[in-house]
Amino acid sequence: MEVIKQVSTIREKVQALRCGGKRIGFVPTMGALHEGHLQLLRASAQENDVTICSIFVNPTQFNNPDDYKLYPRTLEQDVELLKTVNCDYLFAPGAEEVYPQQPLLQFSFGPLEAVMEGEHRPGHFNGVATVVSKLFHFVQPHKAYFGQKDLQQVTIVRQLVQALSFDLELVCYPTIREEDGLAMSSRNKRLNVEQRQIAANLYNALQMARGQLGQKAVAAIKEDIRNYLNQQDQVELEYFEVADVNTLQPVQDLSEVQEVALCIAAFVGPVRLIDNLLVNLKEE
Ligand SMILES: Nc1ncnc2c1ncn2[C@@H]1O[C@H](COP(=O)(O)OP(=O)(O)OP(=O)(O)O)[C@@H](O)[C@H]1O
Ligand SMILES: CC(C)(CO)[C@@H](O)C(=O)[O-]
Ligand code: BAL
């Protein structure tokens, strides 16, 4: 596997690959790789001639300076993991490569960014859209791989791809979980042993909500989830939402939708985690 740090080098490499008729799969990440990332990388290696992974902890998408400063960075370990999944190139640029000038772009995703992560992390999706657009230009993938754990992100990126006519296929893979149900996440590395155990309650809460869907009104389910998580030490719920899976807008009346996304964001100790479950109401 070749590690590339410069934008000019990745551009040259990609141009040569495309001229040679190679199909490029791309997995953008912020590193501290885990099985969730590896699943995306394996899929890319299977479905494309060449796989490029990027690792860039993108400053413009962090609304909280501590979150940026403390984000896990494990590059050496990541390189070893990437070799195990047949990744061909790691693109790991510095911030000065990606942002030679202050980015001034303003994206607008309408109602999609007014809820959940967009509402609670001001500027977050502007930063994601900026860096993903740049990465797509640098890497020019035929296929780009994202995870369902960041459901709102993949929905926004889908809108971005359409709006800017990126010539690529976007694919989304299901959330990989630990044995107790906790969604794998790089930020889990910041949890201490006690917080790591407590964190599984986010998944328990989602399962509890799923079980109540046919029995209770949305408002009552939300109240139960808030009460359940309030009882847990070191957990502070930021939001729990029942959203239409297509628009991610809050659902009041379950009879009006076919499939919902149960979405949660909560602090466990100092670490903010998110998770979601998709539920097809007609199949429940
Ligand atoms: N548990 C998971 N299952 C499937 N895909 C995942 C999982 N965790 C992350 N991904 C996907 O991997 C890609 C890179 O994500 P990222 O590097 O931010 O990792 P992360 O684990 O989501 O970290 P964090 O949530 O702490 O930022 C994203 O498309 C993300 O949705
Ligand atoms: C897509 C992404 C790599 C953009 O920085 C990031 O938001 C992530 O890792 O999900
Ligand atoms: N994993 C999504 C990117 C972020 O939390 O900033």
> Is residue 283 domain-resident?
no
> Is residue 180 domain-resident?
no
Q: Write out the catalytic residue numbers.
A: 37
Question: Among the residues of 112-192, which ranges form H helices?
Answer: 116-120, 124-139, 151-163
Is there a single domain that holds both residue 168 and residue 256?
no
Q: Is the CB of 88 under 6 A from ligand 3?
A: no
Predicted confidence at residue 284, as pLDDT, reads: 72
The pLDDT tens digits of the residues spanning 118-163 come to 999 999 999 999 999 999 999 999 999 999 999 999 999 999 999 9
Domain at 273, CATH number: 3.30.1300.10
The pLDDT tens digits of the residues spanning 3-16 come to 999 999 999 999 99
Is there a single domain that holds both residue 144 and residue 221?
no
36 belongs to an annotated ligand binding site: yes
Predicted confidence at residue 103, as pLDDT, reads: 86
The pLDDT tens digits of the residues spanning 173-217 come to 999 999 999 999 999 999 999 999 999 999 999 999 999 998 999
Predicted confidence at residue 84, as pLDDT, reads: 98
Predicted confidence at residue 127, as pLDDT, reads: 98
Q: Which of 117, 140, 173 is at the close of a domain?
A: 173
Q: Measuring CA to CA, which residue among 48, 43, 61, 29 is closest to residue 184?
A: 29
Predicted confidence at residue 283, as pLDDT, reads: 81
Domain at 138, CATH number: 3.40.50.620
Question: What is the 8-class DSSP label of residue 110?
Answer: G
Predicted confidence at residue 36, as pLDDT, reads: 98
Is there a single domain that holds both residue 217 and residue 160?
no
Dihedral angle sign, alpha carbons of residues 145, 147, 150, 151: positive
Ligand nearest to the CA of 68: 3
Q: Which of 130, 147, 173 is at the close of a domain?
A: 173
> Is residue 17 domain-resident?
yes
d(CA 250, CA 83): 42
pLDDT surpassing 90 at residue 43: yes
Is there a single domain that holds both residue 207 and residue 240?
yes
φ and ψ at 257, to 5 degrees?
Answer: -130, 155
Question: DSSP string spanning 249-270?
Answer: -B-S-GGG-SEEEEEEEEEETT
Tell me how crowded residue 212 is: count the other CB atoms within 10 A of its CB.
Answer: 16
pLDDT surpassing 90 at residue 61: yes
Q: Which of 144, 173, 202 is at the close of a domain?
A: 173
Which atom of ligand 2 is found nearest the CA of 30?
9
33 belongs to an annotated ligand binding site: yes
Q: Is the CB of 39 under 6 A from ligand 3?
A: no
pTM value is: 0.97
> Is residue 221 domain-resident?
yes
The pLDDT tens digits of the residues spanning 201-260 come to 999 999 999 999 989 999 999 999 999 999 999 999 999 999 999 999 999 999 989 999
Range of the domain at 45: 2-173
User: For ligand 1, which residues put their CB under 6 angstroms from it?
Assistant: 29-30, 36-37, 40, 146-147, 149-150, 173, 175-176, 183-187
Band (282; pLDDT cuts 50, 70, 90): confident
Question: What is the 8-class DSSP label of residue 61?
Answer: G
ipTM of the complex as predicted: 0.98
The pLDDT tens digits of the residues spanning 70-105 come to 999 999 999 999 999 999 999 999 999 999 998 889
Predicted confidence at residue 247, as pLDDT, reads: 96
Is there a single domain that holds both residue 8 and residue 62?
yes
Minimum CA distance residue for ligand 2 atom 4 = 128
Is there a single domain that holds both residue 97 and residue 208?
no
- Number of folded domains in the chain? 2
Minimum CA distance residue for ligand 1 atom 21 = 185
The pLDDT tens digits of the residues spanning 16-35 come to 999 999 999 999 999 999 99
